[in-house]
Chains A and B, each alone.
Chain A
């Protein structure tokens, strides 16, 4: 688990509107392009979760929860009603409780 790199990816997307838009437009393409510029690598599981914008899996893998929520809100807000997103996020998080998020 390279939690650090997942957190770094979320940090970049969350704090930069151009990155956020490019990611949402083509998640697998953006993930591949971004990872090429890094020395570290995602695991296959992490890459798949990011390609699918799968916040439930990212939470379960120990992505930083504060960052993960903000990132999730950024990348789903145009497609999901906020209340529905909050509800689904919480339900998915509840299935795994409190994974260790130290990276």
Chain B
């Protein structure tokens, strides 16, 4: 039987890798780096053979000429990232091994469970996958199966649907006959604005939303999250707050288990999310 050994939820802020290399860093940066190191240690401790990496494409591979709600990367190697992200964020291009067998099992297993993923055999991943990997596994030596979501081009799938897709992913993982140790790495954010009148402000965009969001994750309260996470409600918290929806998929994967760590870190930026679910003992589930 395959086992889900850990699931981590983390920021994909694309400015952070470059920021962390600068000599002069804002006061909160050290706290963020400390949490990232903690998450990296958690991942190493649980020794996953493969990572299902969940994040939202940022109008790179996804575009409105043909917009999927949820997509799996069906390849044995993935390139990251795109020209504009190298230019704007200084992100490195990278090459990540894939796990085609797990991809195919997830794809077919999800169809059987009522979730119809799109798939791509020519997928380049952007900062939603590259940055979390740089943070928690800079060696980039664990194969990935990327799952990309649409959190950016309305209309979006519902909050509850993100959760249900997570439940389907978990159900497939739990049914896999092989002995793989599976990790899940989810990226997203809390309240955030990009390209609007409040962008790049070094403060929490909406402390109330952040606190409620961390609360939903902590208690597994999908009903409250589904009630408060539609587009019209989230935009006033910051026009890109919808990137939080990825963490509702994580809640679905967790199947009601409480996280071992749940935090929206106030480090003098928009809140930096850190979530973890971990096996308490070998073979125990999360």
Contacts and interface: CB of A to CB of B under 8 A. Distances in A.
Contact of A65 (B200, B236, B239): B239
A65 B195 contact: yes
B83 A69 contact: no
Given A8-B63, A65-B196, A14 B235 contact: no
A101 to B, nearest CB: 7
Interface stretch (B110-118, B128-136, B152-160): B152-160
A97 interface: yes
A15 B196 contact: no
Interface residues of A, number: 29
A51 B235 CA distance: 30
A38 to B, nearest CB: 11
Interface stretch (A28-36, A41-49, A86-94): A86-94
Contact of B199 (A8, A16, A69, A98): A69
A101 B154 contact: yes
Contacts of A8: 63-65
A52 interface: no
B239 A98 contact: yes
A67 B197 contact: no
A66 B83 contact: no
A61 interface: no
A89 B197 CA distance: 8
A68 interface: yes
Contact of B153 (A17, A64, A91): A64
Contacts of A68: 195
A73 B84 CA distance: 10
Nearest to A69: B195
A67 B195 contact: yes
Contacts of A16: 83
Contact of B64 (A7, A97, A98): A7
Interface of A: 4, 7-8, 11, 14-17, 59, 64-70, 73-74, 86, 89-91, 93-94, 97-98, 101-103
Given A59-B195, A65-B195, 7 more contacts: A64-B152, A66-B58, A66-B195, A68-B195, A70-B195, A93-B195, A93-B197
Which 8 interchain pairs have the tightest Cβ spacing? A65-B195, A69-B195, A94-B197, A93-B197, A102-B154, A14-B84, A66-B195, A66-B194
